[in-house]
Amino acid sequence: MGRLITVAAVALGQWALDWEGNTGRIIESIIIAKQRGATLRVGSELEVPGYGCLDHFNEIDTYSNSWDMLRRILLDKRCYGIIIDVGAPVLHRNQKFNCRIIILDGKILLIRPKMFLANDGNYREHRHFVPWLHPCQTEDYHLPPEIQEIVGVTHVPFGDAVISTPDTCLGGEFVAFVSRSREDLSNANKTNLHSGGEQPDHISSNISPGEANPQKTCEELFTPNAPHINQSLDGVEIFANSSGSHFSLQKLDLRLSLITEATRKAGGVYIYSNQQGCDGDRLYYDGCAMVIVNGNIVAQGSQFSLSDVEVVTATVDLDEVRAHRMAMSRGLQAALSTAKYQRIQTDFSIGNDEDDADVSIAPSKPIKPRIHTVEEEIALCAGCYLWDYLRRSGAAGYLVPLSGGIDSCATATIVYSMCRIVIQAMKDGNQDVIDDVKRIAKYDDKLPETPQELCSQIFTTIYMGMREQSSRETRQRAKDLSTAIGSYHINLDIDEVFQAQKNLITNAIGFTPRFKVHGGTHQENLTLQCIQARVRMVTAYQFGQVLPTARGRPGGGGLLVLGSANVGESLVGYLTKYDCSSADINPIGSIDKDDLKRFIAWAETEFELPCLREFLEAIPTAELEPITHDYVQSDEADMGMTYKELTIFGRLRKEQKLGPYGMFLRLVHDWSEDRAAHPGGGDGDGDGAGGDDAPRMTPAQVAEKVKLFFHKYSVARHKSTVLTPALHSNDYSPEDHRHDLRPFLYPLMWKSWSFKKIDRELARIEKRQALKFGEKEKGK
């Protein structure tokens, strides 16, 4: 028993339903933690099956398979001598629970079910699990027969409890541990909760005084009355947070704030573990395993990495926690607290006296948290996600239709970022990455040594132009970028295929559609644009299927096609259904135009790609209409709003939960011509709606813009149902899968009650403005 203890938080690259692979990574992380002197290892939420199993959590196999894998961990003697916190789903009384399994020396100390389930945004835990609704209570869990044979008992405690060791108490927002003296332990009433057999010597359960360490899941931390509050008042010293938290731009800052504040006031050791990587869905789990002591970060893992097993350890001094809690006010609150947790007692000590006497061992010092910029997050998150997706899909590489515009440029630059990350991992000796590169990039026996060399083997770009619609500038920009990043590039025209489709209409119905610049109607113009767009999608997939074989790749294979529609265009449907926005995956589908521009501007310098400057300076255009001496198609002119305005509309609609009328009420002030300047140029709420750089409009112009946005959104909503799966990067993403569920057949917005309310409020505002103007004129 000692005051110095070493703990481990892990970030594993789990893959949904990769049972043996997931278990292998769990065991490897336990072994590494032990090698580094840790006596407590905390894993991520549902790490045995992988967090992203979705409706597989409704299948009996998922639960029985999880116990099969837990059996392997229980039998592996390499996992002895350390308390292990493992995440797995558990069936109890025919109810499904999201649980933490606390293991020591081949025995189960406690099964702790999650109490507060995540059920917003991308999370649907209520669809798959039920919460544990009995705080500070436990009951017996009947173990499966194959587990009974190993642990020697038929039942273990199931519920909201903490683990008490001779030197501390462990718990979490998903188990807790308490600090007691050896005398307390020897005198404890060892009530046998294990009715089917003799209780192991190092496990008992009773109510006794002492400090505890609670366990949390990620959602429990985000709740107003988080479990760590009551647990800390009841003596818990170490909090284990097992998370399944996915990436969103700049979300880490909020997460760090919540985690550090959890122990800044209450004191304690906080161990945060999270899954890392793509586990088979649109989400990237961004790791960042951490250890925090009294609100100070003392260890932090990577947020983005290609390593499948990352273990972060820290040595902490428990006396620092106790000293932090010496304030009289805290003692009074603890005395008044009615939350008394059941202690699951064990003879196993987290620390030992020898470590206290070893002067070479010192507590880990506070460090400054590492927080990436938006530009870095886009490069690293999307790059790591694409590599995970590629290596696990079995495909031969990626293909991007490169238009010469900034969106497809961003997608191609992200693939180049992926190649940079992979090459660096190879240089760092990551054997898993080296093996994957050997398997995927196998046109010759020589391993690529530069990002460009890797790009040339696994990345194809293709420019599909039209002689009248496509400009020399876009064609040249596409070529320059492909040369700079090393992609295998194809430059072709699709005029013949387009003309064949156009003739098909003429031959069938005797009508020849014309472009608007040639006198055609809006519908004719739209028809001809869509033919081009859809031909490009078909062409991209054709080349993706045949190129690896044509280029002589051993075993052939196919390329995954990447889409390049940004979040703003998806919101208002500024894309053709089943055009090049239809692909296998879209790495920029929830990123707005402004962030993409910032990323490209950053990459120009960071990646040494001077050709990117031309993309930044070019006017966004779809180039689907013929170019004339007085007309060039413009994206923002077509949409009737700027990309900046689109971003604001998107944030207010989803994040601020505003409909048409609510958005008008907000923007009529934020975009007012007469608004006061805000110090620093922003209004401080983070949505970008206000601030000195926001638009300045009359109330009538605001009403017109809001109506136009919601009209376009409603009539194009059906397109969202077939959008390419996009890497989730923003919380205002319109992704239809489960993040933003809406109807796709709307009543005509122009006649809606919301629009009528806007008109009524606009009339009231304009009447008041007229009165104020009249009074002002009289005063002259």
Catalytic positions:
45, 114, 218, 403
Contact present, 171 and 239 (Cβ < 8 Å)? yes
Contact present, 270 and 262 (Cβ < 8 Å)? yes
- The whole-angstrom separation of Cα 355 and Cα 18 is 38
Contact present, 652 and 687 (Cβ < 8 Å)? yes
**Residue-wise DSSP of 62-103:** HHHHHHHHHHHHHH-GGG-SSEEEEEEEEEETTEEEEEEEEE
Contact present, 591 and 571 (Cβ < 8 Å)? no
Contact present, 171 and 177 (Cβ < 8 Å)? yes
- The whole-angstrom separation of Cα 167 and Cα 319 is 11
- The whole-angstrom separation of Cα 184 and Cα 187 is 5
DSSP for residue 193: -
Q: What is the 3-state secondary structure (H, E, C) of 588-613?
A: CCCCCHHHHHHHHHHHHHHCCCCCHH
Q: How far is CA 760 from the centre of its chain?
A: 41
Contact present, 218 and 241 (Cβ < 8 Å)? yes
Contact present, 228 and 212 (Cβ < 8 Å)? no
- The whole-angstrom separation of Cα 158 and Cα 414 is 46
Angle at 343 between CA 337 and CA 348, to 5 degrees: 135
Per 3-state DSSP, the chain is made up of helix, strand and coil in percentages (nearest 5) of 45, 20, 40
Tell me which residue has tokens 């607290």: 337
- The whole-angstrom separation of Cα 550 and Cα 256 is 49
Q: Which amino acid is at 780?
A: K
Backbone conformation region of residue 268, classed left if phi is above 0, alpha if psi is from -120 to 50, else beta? left
Structure tokens at 188: 């404890």
- The whole-angstrom separation of Cα 48 and Cα 65 is 9
CB-neighbour burial class of residue 467 (10 A; exposed 0-12, middle 13-18, buried 19+): exposed
User: What burial letters (b/e) apply to 597-636, b meaning 16+ CB within 10 Å?
Assistant: bbbbebbbeebebebbebbeebebbbbbbbbeeeeebebb
Through-space distance between the first and last CA atoms of the chain, rounded to whole angstroms: 85
How far is CA 78 from each of CA 27, 50, 73, 82, 345, rounded to the nearest angstrom? 8, 22, 9, 10, 23
SS3 call for 4: strand
DSSP for residue 672: B
Report the DSSP beta bridge partners of residue 489: 461
Contact present, 61 and 339 (Cβ < 8 Å)? no
User: What burial letters (b/e) apply to 318-339, b meaning 16+ CB within 10 Å?
Assistant: bebbeebbeeeebeeebeeeee
What residue spans of 428-559 are helical by DSSP H?
Answer: 431-440, 451-458, 472-485, 495-509, 522-550
CB-neighbour burial class of residue 505 (10 A; exposed 0-12, middle 13-18, buried 19+): middle
Report the DSSP beta bridge partners of residue 286: 276
